[in-house]
Amino acid sequence: MKKVITYGTYDLLHHGHVALLKRAKALGDYLIVGVTADGFDKERGKLNVSQSLAERIENVRQTGIADQIIVEEYEGQKISDIQKYGVDIFTVGSDWVGKFDYLSEYCQVVYLPRTRGISSTVLRASAKPALKVGILGVDSMAERFFSEAKVVSGMEVTSVYDADPQKVTKFCRGKGGLERLESEQDIYAGCDAVFINTPADEHYQQILAAIEAGCHVICNPPMFLSREEANECYQKADEAGLVLFEGIKTLYFPAFEHMLLLVKSGLIGTVKDIDVSCSQIPEHMEQVVKNKYLGSLYDWGTTALLPIIKIYEAECLDSQLINFQTEDFSYFTRGLLRYQNATASIKVGKGMKVEGELIITGTKGYLYVPAPWWKTEYFEIRSEDLRNVKKYFYSYEGDGLRYMIYSFLNAINDPERGLQHTRAEVLRATAILEKFHQGGFTRIEM
């Protein structure tokens, strides 16, 4: 019996998929179809899949063409599958010509012609109009957001506004079709959603204005400086049926998601302490705007608190904050946080440098993420026996912002999924930032 294997996402199954499966089946006697897992698609940067893995498997099953359906979960699995199932022929569409020649060492490789004029991408694009997104506030983050949004199907950055016209002129250079608007109100009026990328003290009023104009919001952290403001905005967003989304990109990295799952599975026992540090010394620190709403905890606090809040899932019982500053600008903040039967510490700097690692201590071992942990790709789980160190690596594509943007779009298109970063979690971080914002720290002059 001649066995044939092929792989694909099979999203929004169409007659082009069916024709390719029939051609694959005709190459032999037994067809194995590998359907890509949701996590694998995400890891390799494929962020436009509309249907779940279960739906896509059912699509393939209902064709009646596949003799066996398997799930592709990781890079390099094809070789393992070919050997495991005794495959004679590997085949994919002709748009992949040359990509899988390395498999010829294990079996025959055949590239089949695709059906012209049809694709899942076209079907997704025609299903609903793209979400129009405006950028409010121009800097390097806005550049990265614009670039990464291009690879997420279903949205389009259409306009931009900043109080500094020169920044907008520079930002729009080479970005044909991007509309330069004259005011904040123009952004809200012309878009379905807005990316708020301004200093923290401006977020509350801008979020309210966006919600009142009927716009979904994705906002750079920290989203709020008080719980009262947060509750008001969430309530108004809920009433309007709009998504209010704090844009912490680290949360959506494949490695960070896997790390949280392993910690919550009990692999390192009960977590008793978390130590987090983040910092940055900008290239031209002397040119950095230095005011009360910028600096260490304003720039890094929400990111530093992320693993603590996601793992402990509880209110902080007490926080002690020490702040190094000159006039109103905070260069470095150290915090000790107490939870029920657990502790955490944070060190964050803007203009001062710390290691930038994450250590999660449990009763059976600890998890270590090297600097810069907030760009998580690699981590280790260590125990008393250092010969038994477990190493994990999960790559991400591009700058990593695409995963966050994809999650934002999913929250809008499929409200039943809910948010990965919930209102309760935002409020827990905001409580600590609120204390800092109101001067609840020990001050040390630089």
Helix (H) or strand (E) holding 278: strand 271-280
Q: What is the CATH number of domain 250-445?
A: 3.30.360.10
Q: Which residues pair with 194 in a beta bridge?
A: 134, 217
Supply the Cα-derived Rg of the chain in whole angstroms.
25
- Do 3-121 and 128-246 show the same overall fold? yes
Task: Report how far Cα 44 is from the mean position of its chain's Cα atoms.
Answer: 13
Architecture of the domain made up of 128-246: 3-Layer(aba) Sandwich (3.40)
Query: Is-contact 113 172, C-beta < 8 A?
Result: no
What values do phi and psi take at 177, rounded to 5?
A: 90, -10
Cβ neighbours around 153 below 10 Å, total: 18
**155 burial type by CB count under 10 A (0-12 exposed, 13-18 middle, 19+ buried):** buried
**Which DSSP string corresponds to 171-240?**
HHTT-TTPEEPSSHHHHHHH-SEEEE-S-GGGHHHHHHHHHHTT-EEEEPSP--SSHHHHHHHHHHHHHH
**Residue 108's CB: how many other CB atoms inside 10 A?**
15
Global model pTM greater than 0.75:
yes
User: Under CATH, which number does the domain 3-121 receive?
Assistant: 3.40.50.620
How far CA 92 is from CA of 10, 24, 175, in Å, comes to 12, 8, 35
The structure tokens listed for 47 are 């962020």
215: tokens are 């716009």
Conformational region of residue 206, where left means phi above 0, alpha means psi within -120 to 50, and beta covers everything else = alpha
Per-residue pLDDT 10s for the chain (446 aa) are 999 999 998 988 888 899 999 999 999 999 999 999 877 777 776 676 777 788 889 989 999 999 999 999 888 899 999 999 999 999 999 888 999 999 999 999 999 987 665 555 554 555 567 899 999 999 889 999 999 998 888 889 999 999 999 999 999 998 888 999 999 999 999 899 999 999 999 999 999 999 999 999 999 999 999 999 999 999 999 999 999 999 999 999 989 988 999 999 999 999 999 999 999 988 887 777 777 778 899 999 999 999 999 999 999 999 999 999 888 889 999 999 999 999 999 999 999 999 999 999 999 999 999 999 999 999 999 998 888 899 999 888 888 899 999 899 989 988 877 889 999 999 999 999 999 999 999 988 87
Domain boundaries, the chain: 3-121, 128-246, 250-445
